[in-house]
Amino acid sequence: MQFENSRALIVEGGAMRGIFASGVLDAFMSEGHRPYDFAIGVSAGASNLLGYVADAPQRSYQVITELATSRRFYNPRRFLKGGDLVDVEWLWTESNRRFPLDKQQLFSAIPFWATMTDVNTGKANYYRITEHNMHQAMVATAALPIAFKTTPCFSGGCFTDGGVADSIPVKEAYRRGARDITVVLSHPLSYHMPPNRHPWVMKTLLSRYPGVAEAMAHRAERYNASLEFIRTPPQDATVRVIAPPENFAVKRLTMKRERLDEGYQMGIKAGQDHITNLRGKYGLTRENCHFCF
């Protein structure tokens, strides 16, 4: 589906680092900031977008701080015994039981896609979230390789975490016709993904899925290429970036509530600042806002 000269919202994943994006999107919702024609999310970013599109303030914050910190979701001891390190299926089911979505709002709002990685090819697939595929697609986009043992399959394919193949699908948004793209990152702007120093480890652990192992081996190259696209977009496109500050201390598996709350407040502030600048306060506008490269 093409959206010529449209506005897109892209939200990166990053497991618990998604707490920043949850704050950004809650700030957007509190201000009624919904200028986008479509959205694409990856892993935790797709979960954050689900709350935004469904107009469910604080849902993502609650899912992260109340459920993703639970031993039922994240359990190293279970993993050492051969089980899941993270139980994505449980998190999805429990999230919808505890914090049900307004499906009428969700499916009458802008379309959004979840990114996932095909386990056979190692390539990115983008599935538009519908009422019929929502469960399978939302589990698939967050199904971390190795950490989640079950391989989600639907629509004729089997998938793993979307961040393996396309962590920041800004190029995909451009390909679909977006020319005004807002990207919410989960790392500070200074971040540069280092290359995989031991690709043989992934090849061994993922011997059943050589396509995924190959994608993991080249993940840093694709990630950094997306950052370069953000910094130097095509002449006919504008890319606006909302990223955590340099002192953002949340890591992929941070479980401390205090640190998560700090990250959430950083997201709230970043979202509010973004809207303030777009409204032209302090002389900043859509044409010269400092979130743009």
290 within some domain: no
In this prediction, residue 12 carries a pLDDT of 98
Q: Does the structure show a pLDDT above 70 at 286?
A: no
128 within some domain: yes
Mean per-residue pLDDT over the chain, rounded: 92
284 within some domain: no
Length of the chain, in residues: 293
> Residues with Cβ < 8 Å from 198, sequence gap 6 or more?
none
Q: Buried b / exposed e across 105-124, counting CB within 10 Å, b at 16+?
A: ebeebbebbbbbbbbeebeb
Catalytic residue (choose from 43, 167, 186, 226): 43
Mean pLDDT of the region 68-74: 95
Q: Buried b / exposed e across 224-260, counting CB within 10 Å, b at 16+?
A: bebbebbeebeeeebbbbbbbeeebebeeebeeeebb
In this prediction, residue 50 carries a pLDDT of 96
CATH of residue 33's domain is 3.40.1090.10
228 within some domain: yes
pLDDT band at 283 (very low <50, low <70, confident <90, very high): low
Q: Does the structure show a pLDDT above 60 at 84?
A: yes
Nearest to 115, CA basis, from 55, 63, 49 = 49
Total domains in the chain come to 1
Residue 220 class from Cβ within 10 Å (0-12 exposed, 13-18 middle, 19+ buried)? middle
53 within some domain: yes
Q: Does the structure show a pLDDT above 90 at 107?
A: yes
Q: Does the structure show a pLDDT above 70 at 284?
A: no
288 within some domain: no
Catalytic residue (choose from 26, 161, 166, 273): 161
In this prediction, residue 143 carries a pLDDT of 94
Rounded Cα distance, 5 and 178, in Å: 5
What would the two tokens of residue 34 be? 């919904």
In this prediction, residue 40 carries a pLDDT of 98
Rounded Cα distance, 151 and 98, in Å: 25
Residue 161 annotated among the catalytic residues of the structure? yes
Residue type, 129: I
Predicted confidence (pLDDT) per residue in 2-52, tens digit: 788 899 999 999 999 999 999 999 999 999 999 999 999 999 999 999 999
Mean pLDDT of the region 143-168: 93
pLDDT band at 292 (very low <50, low <70, confident <90, very high): very low
In this prediction, residue 282 carries a pLDDT of 56
What would the two tokens of residue 269 be? 């502030």
Q: Does the structure show a pLDDT above 60 at 193?
A: yes
Residue-number span of the structural domain to which 53 is assigned: 6-279
In this prediction, residue 165 carries a pLDDT of 96
21 within some domain: yes
In this prediction, residue 10 carries a pLDDT of 98
293 within some domain: no
Strand partners, 41: 11, 114
Mean pLDDT of the region 145-169: 93
